[in-house]
Chain A
Amino acid sequence: MKLLTCPLNGKRNISEFTYGGEYHVMPDHRTSSARDWAEHVFFHDNVAGLVTEWWCHSASSFWFLAERNTITDEVIRTFKADEIYQQRVEFTAPETEV
C-alpha cells in the first residue's frame, strides 16, 4: 500500500485518505461560455505527467493538495490549500434575495 504524506498528520497509508479530484481553477460562472463551463464541470484533463490533486485525510477531515506524476505514480510533494488559496473569494453580484 502506498504512503501519502499529509501536511498535518505526516506519512500515512493511502487507505486513510479520500481522493478529491483534480485541482483546477473554476472559470467565471457569469462570463464563461457554456462550452467552457461544461469543460469545467464534466471533463477532466487526465494528463499523463505532473498533476495537482485534492486529497482529504479522512480521520482529521483535512484537505490538502498533492503533486503527483501519473506516469510513475510518484507523489512529488503535498501542501496545504492555503498555499494557493490565500484570500477570501468573493462573488460580486448584488444580493437581491427576498
Chain B
Amino acid sequence: MYTRLPAPYGSLINREIGVQFEFENKTVNGFEGDTIASALLANQQWLLSRSFKYHRPRGALTMAGQDANTMVQLPSNPNALADKELIKEGMQVSGQNYTGSLENDRGALLGLFSRFLPVGFYYKAFFKPRGMWEKWASLIRKKAGLGVIDQQLKSPYYDKQYKFYDVVIIGGGPAGMQAAIDAAVDNCEVLLVDENPSLGGSLNYARFDAAGTLGKLLRTELLSALQANSNITVMTNAVCNGWFADNWLPIICGNRLYKVRATQTILCTGALEQPALFHNNDLPGVVMSSAAQRLVHLYGVKPGSAAVILTGNNDGYGTALDLLDAGVAIQAIIDLRANPDYDEVAKAAIARGIKVKTGCAVYSAHSKKEVHVASVEVRNIIGQGICGNDREIINCDLLCMSVGYTPAYQLACQAGGQLSYDDQSAIFTLNNCPETLQLAGSVNSLWHIDAVLAEARRTAAIATNALGFTQVAVGEVIPKGSISPNHPWPIFAHPKGKEFVDYDEDLTIADIVNATGDGYEHIQLVKRYSTCGMGPSQGRHSALAAARIVAAATHRTVADTGVTTARPPFSAEQLGHSAGRSFYPARRSNMHYRHLEAGAEMLQAGAWFRPAYYAQDNITRQDCINAEVTNVRNNVGLVDVSTLGGLEVRGPDAGEFLNRFYTFGFVKQPVGRARYALLTNEAGVVIDDGVACRFGDNHYYVTATTGGVDRVYQNMLKWNAQWRLNVDIANVTSAYCGVNIAGPNARLILEKVCTDIDLSSAAFPYMGVRSGTVTGIPARLIRVGFVGELGYEIHVPQQYGEALWDVLIEAGNEYAIKPFGIEAQRILRLEKGHIIIGQDTDAMSNPNEVQMSWAVSKKKPFFVGGRTLSELEKKPSLRSLVGFVVNDIESPIPQESHLILDGKHMTGRVTSCNYSPTLDKAIGLAYVSPTSAANGSTIVIRSSGGVLVNATVVDLPFYDPNTARQEL
C-alpha cells in the first residue's frame, strides 16, 4: 500500500521528480527531498535496522536525525541516519547489524537471553581468568557492532573555513527566526544556522491552534522578513556541533567545517521530545508524536491507519487533530494526567469525538507476525509509575508518544550553563551562561508561541545593545508558564522488562536500577557502568529518564541527581571534517631540486626536506653512504647545510648578551673568529649548540641546530625582554642558504670561485670567518670542522642557493666533487666525536656529562644555567658520555638506545653508533657509569635480539685526534 498524502502535505518533497533507490536489494520509489526513512515509510517499510545489543527490530523514532534507530548502511558510509540522509537515484541502502536477513535476524535470539545479559555482564563473565577476553572478544564484537567501514574509500575533499559574525543564532525555529530579524539592525552581521533543510522548526509541522493554520502563516511572515534583510546569512542543513571558548562555533555543512567566531550567540536550539517507557516501547510503529507530525507535514506520509496517542500534555491532542485531518483514525488518546488542564487545541480534539482515557498509561505494546505495533495494552495509573488492573487492549498500527521534552541544552552546557530541574513542575532551567550567550524559545523552557517570540526579541536586543549597535530598552525576563508539557513520570516498569531507557544501547529500567544496586549511584558512574547515553544519540532520549530512575532508586531528586555532561560533538561528525585539508608545512632549501636531480633520497627532518644520501644505480644504500664518507676524507664533498639555524645578534651589547645566554665567553672573542656556543637552560641541561661568528665589534652571526633555532630565538627574545640590553636579535635562518665544502681539495675549488678572500691557512685559519663573494654572490664563509676535514661553510642569501650549488659543482668538476647527504655527515661527525644535541643528549644532560665542561666559562658574572651547573658540580656525576669501539668487527652493530649492561644492571645506553668506513670499525657514543668511563674500559652492550656485544671505551675523537686535517 502506498501512503502518500496529497499536497500541501509534504513541504520538503518535490513530487515532480521521482527518485528510485534500493533498500535491502529491493527497489523503492520516492521523491526528491525525501529522506531514506520517509521514502521507506511511504512504502510501508518500517523496519530499518537492528539494535546494537539484542538485534531488536527498530524503525523511525524521531524523524529528526536525533536517534540511532534509523542508522543504515550506505556503500561508503556506515551509520548513516536514514531520517536525515536524502535519497539519491540508484543509491544502495541496507540495514545494519543483523545475521541472515534484516527481517529474520538470527542474532535476535540474543534477546531471549537478555535476562542473562545484565549490565556489566561482559566485564563480569569474560574477563576471568586472565586472558579469556582475547578468546571471546572477536566472537562478541562480531555480534555487537554497527555499520561496516569501506576500507577502500578514497577520501573526498573536506575542508574548513573561518567565518565571522556579530551575532550567530543556532536554531532556525520561530525563536531563531525572530531573533535574527531583530538582531539584524544596521551594520550587524547575523548568521542563522539550522540543521534542517528549511527554516521554521516546529512551525513546519506542529499544531499551534485549533485550525492548524497559525504555524505556517507565522513561518511565511518570518521568512519574508528574514529574506528582506541583507544583514542576515542563513545556513540550512548545517549543524553547530559544539560551543567553545569565546563563542567559537564549529558548524558542519556538507563536507566543510566552518569555524565561526561570534561576538554574541543566541541559542534557539529548541527541545527534544522524549519517549515514554513501557514494555516494547521500541517496536516499529511506536514513534514520538512530533515524528508523526513531521511525516505528515514534511513528507506527506500517512504514518498509519489507526493510531493511539499516549500523551502527558496537550500537544498529543494537536497530533491527534493532525492525524485525523490526514485521514488516520484515532483509536484513543491515552492521557497520563488524571485531571488535564485542556487548552484550545485539546478542546477542539475532544470536540471531534476522539475517545480520551485520562489517568491511564500504555502498559505495553504488542506486535503480530510482522514486526510492527498491532495493539497496546492500556491500564489505569494508581501511583507514580504503577498501573492498576483495569486493562483494555486497543488495536492500532501507530502509537504516538507525547509525554514531554528536554531542552536541547548541549551547547548551553558546553558554554558553562548549568541545567536545573524542578521535580514537581518538571520544568528545566539553564543558568550561568556567559554574558555573550543568550537563550530563547523552548530551550529556555518557553512553550507558548507568544512567549517564544517575545523572548527572541528580548535576547536580540540584549545582543545588539552589547555590540553597541543599539541602545534600546530590554524588557523584563519572560516568565516560564505554569503549565509544563513535561509529564513528571512517564515511566512504567513491566514484569517482563523491555521498557527501553536507551534505545542505542538496549538498556531497560532494570538495567539502570541494577547499576545503582551494584553501587554506582552517581549519574556519571551509572553512565559509564551501564553505557547509558554513550551510544550514537548521546543520551538525547535517555538522559532524563535515566536521571529520573536513578533519582528514584537512590531516593533523591532529579535536580540532585543531575544529568551527564554533554560534550561536543552534538551529533556524529566524520573524521574528514576534523581533518580538513591537514596543513603540514614543509620547508625546502633553495637547492632542493638540484638534490633531486642528483638522485637524492630525501627525508624529512622536522619540516625540512634534506638529502639522506645520493642514490646510485646498482649500489646499495650503505655503500653509497660509505662512498660519500670516503670522498670527503680523501677528496672533497659538498653538503647542503641550509637548514642550519642562523641568528643575527647585533648592537653594542651583542657580546654581553651572548655571554649571558650561552655558556662560553664571547666578549673578548676577536672579530673574524668563530667560537663554539653551547646553550643550557636554567636547569643546566644542554639544549642547543652552534658557533658564534664575530663579523664586527657589535655583530655576531650565531648558528643553531635545525630543530632548535626557533626555540633558541624565542628564548633569546624572552631573556632580553627582561635584561633590556642594547642589542637586536633576528632569526635569519631562512635568509641564508648554505653549503659545507669539505675535504682536502676544498680550498683548491673554492679558490677558483672566491677571489676576494685570501683563503690561505695563514690568512683564513681554522675557526676563522670572512665576508666576501663567490662568483659575485655575497657570502659569509666560516671555517668549521664538523666533519673533521678542511672545510668552509658558505652562507649566501636564500635565493642564490641554487646558483651557489651550480657554481661549486661546476668548479669542483675537475676534482670529482660529490654531494653528500646527512647520513654520511652523521658518520663523519661521529668519527670526529662531535655530539648531536637531542640525539647524544637528553632532557637531563649537563655539559660535564657530555665532556663539554671546556665550553663553560666559570669566570662570567652570570649565564643562564650557570648557578645550577655550579650546584651540580658539587654532586658526584652519575654518567658520562664516552666513545667506544666494538671489539669484534663481526659483531652486530649496536643501535641507538641499546643498553649498556653491567651484569644484570643497566648502566647506560648507546646514543650513536655506526660503521666507520674510514676506520673500518664500528664506533659509537654511549652514556656509561663514571666507573667505566676511563679509556680502555670494557663495556657490554645488549644489542638486537639480546646479543651481547663487547666494546672498549676510547678517547674522542676516533679520527684525527690532533685535528691536523681540519686545520690544513
A residues within 8 Å of B by Cβ?
1-3, 18, 20, 29-30, 32, 34, 37-38, 40-42, 54, 56, 61, 63, 73, 81-82, 85-89, 91-98
Q: Are B248 and A89 in contact, CB atoms less than 8 angstroms apart?
A: no
A87 to B859, CA, bound (A): 25
Do A42 and B722 contact each other (CB < 8 Å), given the known contacts A61-B717, A73-B245, A98-B859? no
Q: Are A1 and B721 in contact, CB atoms less than 8 angstroms apart?
A: no
Do A95 and B867 contact each other (CB < 8 Å), given the known contacts A63-B718, A88-B724? no
Q: Does B861 contact A (CB under 8 A)?
A: yes
Of the listed stretches B521-529, B542-550, B660-668, B781-789, name the one at the interface; the rest are far from the partner chain.
B660-668
CB-CB < 8 A to A34: which residues of B? 871
Q: Are A61 and B731 in contact, CB atoms less than 8 angstroms apart?
A: yes
CB-CB < 8 A to A95: which residues of B? 667, 859-861
Q: Are A1 and B866 in contact, CB atoms less than 8 angstroms apart?
A: no
Do A41 and B682 contact each other (CB < 8 Å), given the known contacts A29-B862, A89-B723? yes
Do A41 and B668 contact each other (CB < 8 Å), given the known contacts A63-B717, A73-B245, A85-B721? no
A contact patch SS? loop
A40 to B682, CA, bound (A): 9
For A29, A34, A73, A87, the residue with the greatest tally of chain B CB atoms inside 10 Å of its CB is: A29
Q: Are A97 and B717 in contact, CB atoms less than 8 angstroms apart?
A: no
Do A93 and B724 contact each other (CB < 8 Å), given the known contacts A1-B248, A56-B714? no
A33 to B726, CA, bound (A): 31
Q: Are A96 and B859 in contact, CB atoms less than 8 angstroms apart?
A: yes
Give the residue of A73, A81, A87, A93 whose beta carbon is less than 8 angstroms from that of B861: A93
Q: Are A85 and B860 in contact, CB atoms less than 8 angstroms apart?
A: no
Q: Are B248 and A18 in contact, CB atoms less than 8 angstroms apart?
A: no
Query: Smallest CB–CB gap between B731 and chain A, Å?
Result: 7
A41 to B731, CA, bound (A): 27
Give the residue of B246, B659, B665, B723 whose beta carbon is less than 8 angstroms from that of A88: B723
Per the 8 Å Cβ criterion, residues 851-886 of B in contact with A are 857, 859-862, 866-868, 871
Q: Are A54 and B724 in contact, CB atoms less than 8 angstroms apart?
A: no
Q: Are B722 and A2 in contact, CB atoms less than 8 angstroms apart?
A: no
A92 to B660, CA, bound (A): 12
- For chains A and B in complex, what number of residue pairs have CB atoms within 8 angstroms? 83
A27 to B259, CA, bound (A): 45
CB-CB < 8 A to B245: which residues of A? 1-3, 73
Q: Are B871 and A37 in contact, CB atoms less than 8 angstroms apart?
A: yes
Give the residue of A32, A56, A82, A86 whose beta carbon is less than 8 angstroms from that of B718: A56
Digit string of B708-745 for contact with A (CB within 8 Å is 1, else 0)? 00000110011001111110000100000000000000
Give the residue of B659, B667, B714 whose beta carbon is less than 8 angstroms from that of A61: B714
Q: Are A91 and B718 in contact, CB atoms less than 8 angstroms apart?
A: no
* Contacts beyond the supplied A56-B717, A85-B724: 19 A-B pairs with Cβ under 8 Å: A1-B245, A2-B245, A3-B261, A18-B714, A20-B714, A29-B866, A34-B871, A37-B868, A41-B682, A56-B714, A63-B717, A63-B718, A63-B721, A87-B724, A89-B722, A91-B861, A93-B860, A97-B668, A97-B857
Q: Are A37 and B861 in contact, CB atoms less than 8 angstroms apart?
A: no
Q: Are A3 and B721 in contact, CB atoms less than 8 angstroms apart?
A: no
Do A1 and B246 contact each other (CB < 8 Å), given the known contacts A81-B721, A97-B667? yes
Closest to B731 in A: A61
A-B contact pairs, 19 of them (CB 8 A): A2-B244, A38-B871, A40-B682, A41-B683, A41-B868, A42-B683, A56-B718, A82-B721, A86-B724, A88-B723, A88-B725, A89-B724, A93-B861, A95-B859, A96-B859, A97-B859, A97-B860, A98-B668, A98-B859
CB-CB < 8 A to B857: which residues of A? 97
Query: Smallest CB–CB gap between B486 and chain A, Å?
Result: 33
A95 to B668, CA, bound (A): 10
A91 to B866, CA, bound (A): 13
Closest to B682 in A: A41
CB-CB < 8 A to B660: which residues of A? 91
CB-CB < 8 A to B682: which residues of A? 40-41
Q: Are B861 and A54 in contact, CB atoms less than 8 angstroms apart?
A: no
A94 to B860, CA, bound (A): 8
CB-CB < 8 A to A91: which residues of B? 660, 861-862
CB-CB < 8 A to A20: which residues of B? 714, 718
For A30, A73, A82, the residue with the greatest tally of chain B CB atoms inside 10 Å of its CB is: A30
Query: Smallest CB–CB gap between A80 and chain B, Å?
Result: 9
Closest to A2 in B: B245
Query: Smallest CB–CB gap between B587 and chain A, Å?
Result: 16
CB-CB < 8 A to A85: which residues of B? 721-724
CB-CB < 8 A to A94: which residues of B? 861
CB-CB < 8 A to A1: which residues of B? 244-246, 248, 259
Query: Smallest CB–CB gap between A92 and chain B, Å?
Result: 6
Q: Are B665 and A37 in contact, CB atoms less than 8 angstroms apart?
A: no
Q: Are B246 and A2 in contact, CB atoms less than 8 angstroms apart?
A: yes
CB-CB < 8 A to B713: which residues of A? 61
